[in-house]
Chains A and B, each alone.
Chain A
Amino acid sequence: MEEEAFDAIVIGGGVAGMSAAMTLARANMKFLLVERGEFAGAKNVSGGVLWGSDLAKLVPQYWEEEDGGWERFVNHRRLSLMDEQSAFTLDFKSSHWNQPPYTGVVVLRARFDNWLAGKVQEAIYASDYAEESFIATDIKVDQVLMEGGRAVGIKTGDEEFYAKVMIIAEGVNNLLTRQVGLQTEYVPADHMLTGIKEIIRFDQQRLEDRFQLQGRSGMSNEFVGWATDGVEGGGFLYTNKDTLSVGLVLSIVDLRAQKKSPHDILSHFKTHPVVADAIEGGEVVEYSAHVVSSGDKRAMPREVYADGVLVVGEAANLLLNAGKAIQGMDYAMRSGILAAETVMEAKAAGDFSLGKLADYRKKLDASYIMKNINGFQDAVHVLHDPIMQHKVPNILCDFGRLFFSIDNQPTAKSKDMILDAVRKHSSLWEMAKFGFKAGRSL
């Protein structure tokens, strides 16, 4: 048994798992990655911008590959606040972002994960364990094996495998994280959202013309307000190579309370004139739904490591959704890398004790992940505040309507317009308070 043991077993082949695996393969570790989907990415849904530049660390010069796993880089960002008929949009486009390494690439997971898995396989072939390290798909891990309080392996069907460390990268539905006792069985739905997404296909030229895309440049657009039909959450629209990803993330609790279905709200969102114009003429080719964390720290496991265990990515609820973007994949990537590095150091030191694995926690705390999660909790709450969800978009749209209307009448001063709009939907006092809170949170 000793002979067979792996340095690490990675459970789950999403972004977090693959990033850990890539790092392990590069460091000549003997590992096993187990993914229950038929292939990597088969079960994964996500709206799609992978932020930051960690991808370039994992796959150097990835952009040079003609048909790599990614769709487009983002050089155009928009945030739209909506009411029923209008959208008030912050729009920022910059050629500053045109050069690799890009700071955000749009991905479709079924393609991206599978591509990344191919890269990891190449790294395995190049390592000392070309035939002893594995990526195995279509296999579900049923259980983490424990011995005297320490995780020692995994069980799948009637088979057991052993390793010094289990890297749990199972995603948001973190049953194994609970099994090893890092999280209580019951996570209140308050901290969870449901994400739904459609992929809408176009002729590529038409898509590029419509969104003014050049080569592989792309656009991301987030939406707040009317988009979600009164349910807490937000919408998104991203440009892929020849498709759009259009979807919503919605509070599960609020959906239940209002007895609304995500599918209906998505239909609602798609009827908004701004969205309707964007998707006009496309064909829906895929629909999917998936739970996603809200980024609320209260949903995080008690700890991200245990004896023989490291938890990475969304299994540890590492995600931030503070309004300007959802950051789940980049957190998954970085945490996967940090966990793998912890394993490497443990192996070098010949010390896989709990104390040594605690280094992962330290690395995570020192990284932008925990700094942001800790620093932006207020922003998370602001985003989910009903004022932000409903009143602010309405006020801005009213203001926009007044400000941009030119109708051969004496025109009011902008200041009066905004006051008008505020009074209609809220009060000055409420807005001032909210503005202060929001300002501080960012």
Chain B
Amino acid sequence: MVPDVSAPMQIKNGELIMDADRAVLNAYDASGVEEALVLKEADGGAVIVVSVGPAKAAETLRKALAMGADSAVHITTEGVEGAGEFDSDSYAKILAAYYGEQEYDTLFFGKQSQDTDAGLTGSMVAELLGIPYVSNAVGITREADGRFLVKRQGDSGQEIVDAGTGCLITCSNDMNEPRIPKLKGIMASKKKPLEVLTLSDLGVNAADVQPKTQITAYVEIPARQAGQKFSEGAAEDAGRVAELLEQNDLLS
């Protein structure tokens, strides 16, 4: 669950205020859900979606259910002390506590959250669980023996990684085109199981998952000023701009 980054927002006294207080399914998570559904359609199994967050998180779980996930788990932070300030580290510990008790073939995470772009939680959870992981996946295939072959985008090209089984994969939105729920899917999602758990159900103490980073303020991004716009005709404009670049010593 992430706030809709395309919605209008403003910063007031160091706080971020979103005009519409709307939560959406993180685009990178949507790619994870899509990939899991594709695997399920090929090999069977079940897709379970999990979210840690306030009551609103349930809406985005419904969206994933509408896409085709079988069931959902909402680990609620409603009323949990300090939950408003949780960071990736807090969520990773909570998720690790949950997955530590579960059986799974593989865990899909988003490679980052659309609002914070942190990109931390996935590998943190893998580390806490002691399982292998591959980040920034852009494609997945499965071998006959069930091993996952993951294509990830690295610094200088794409790496095909044999991730075995029981691994954690963080997904790029370049991996696939997440399906848009159909009406029947939306209708069915209402009847699918959505389990609500509290931190104490997981044996997690709020005190142990307090964040290790604090946001002290939101500040405006120094706005780029729109500069000069030319529309006198291709040759003339190109000439003017080239000259300006030359004057600014940018034509190296």
Contacts of A139 in B (CB 8 A): 182-183, 186
Cα–Cα distance between A139 and B184 once the two chains are bound (Å): 11
Contact of A136 with B20 in the complex, beta carbons under 8 Å: no
Contact of A34 with B183 in the complex, beta carbons under 8 Å: yes
Q: A114-B20, A114-B22 are in contact. Are A159 and B183 (CB under 8 A)?
A: yes
Contact of A131 with B8 in the complex, beta carbons under 8 Å: no
Contacts of B181 in A (CB 8 A): 138
* In the assembled complex, B19 has its CB within 8 A of some CB on chain A: yes
Contact of A159 with B182 in the complex, beta carbons under 8 Å: yes
Cα–Cα distance between A32 and B10 once the two chains are bound (Å): 36
Partner among B183, B184, B190 whose Cβ is within 8 Å of the Cβ of A131: B190
Counting chain B CB atoms within 10 Å of each CB, the highest count among A32, A111, A138, A201 belongs to A138
* In the assembled complex, B180 has its CB within 8 A of some CB on chain A: yes
Cα–Cα distance between A139 and B187 once the two chains are bound (Å): 12
Contact of B183 with A39 in the complex, beta carbons under 8 Å: no
Shortest Cβ distance from A34 into chain B, in angstroms?
Answer: 7
Partner among A110, A157, A203 whose Cβ is within 8 Å of the Cβ of B20: A110
* In the assembled complex, A134 has its CB within 8 A of some CB on chain B: yes
* In the assembled complex, B191 has its CB within 8 A of some CB on chain A: yes
Contact of A285 with B182 in the complex, beta carbons under 8 Å: no
Contact of B8 with A161 in the complex, beta carbons under 8 Å: no
Contact of A138 with B180 in the complex, beta carbons under 8 Å: yes
Cα–Cα distance between A286 and B9 once the two chains are bound (Å): 11
Shortest Cβ distance from A38 into chain B, in angstroms?
Answer: 8
* In the assembled complex, A179 has its CB within 8 A of some CB on chain B: no
Cα–Cα distance between A157 and B191 once the two chains are bound (Å): 22
Cα–Cα distance between A156 and B187 once the two chains are bound (Å): 14
Cα–Cα distance between A138 and B186 once the two chains are bound (Å): 10
Contact of A156 with B183 in the complex, beta carbons under 8 Å: yes
Contacts of B186 in A (CB 8 A): 134, 136, 139
Contact of B182 with A286 in the complex, beta carbons under 8 Å: no
Contact of A110 with B183 in the complex, beta carbons under 8 Å: no
Cα–Cα distance between A159 and B182 once the two chains are bound (Å): 8
Contact of B183 with A136 in the complex, beta carbons under 8 Å: yes
Counting chain A CB atoms within 10 Å of each CB, the highest count among B12, B19, B22 belongs to B19
Contacts of A161 in B (CB 8 A): 183
Partner among B19, B182, B184 whose Cβ is within 8 Å of the Cβ of A111: B19
Contact of B19 with A110 in the complex, beta carbons under 8 Å: yes
Contacts of B190 in A (CB 8 A): 131, 134
Shortest Cβ distance from B142 into chain A, in angstroms?
Answer: 29
List which B169-211 residues lie within 8 A (CB) of chain A.
180-184, 186-187, 190-191
Give A contacts to B, CB under 8 Å.
Answer: 32, 34, 39, 108, 110-111, 114, 131, 134, 136, 138-139, 156-157, 159, 161, 199, 201, 203, 285-286
A-B contact pairs, 13 of them (CB 8 A): A32-B187, A39-B22, A110-B19, A111-B20, A114-B22, A131-B191, A134-B186, A136-B183, A138-B180, A156-B183, A159-B182, A159-B184, A285-B8
Given A32-B187, A111-B20, A136-B183, 17 extra CB contacts under 8 A: A39-B22, A108-B19, A110-B20, A111-B19, A114-B22, A134-B186, A134-B190, A136-B187, A138-B180, A139-B183, A156-B183, A157-B182, A159-B183, A199-B8, A201-B10, A285-B8, A286-B8
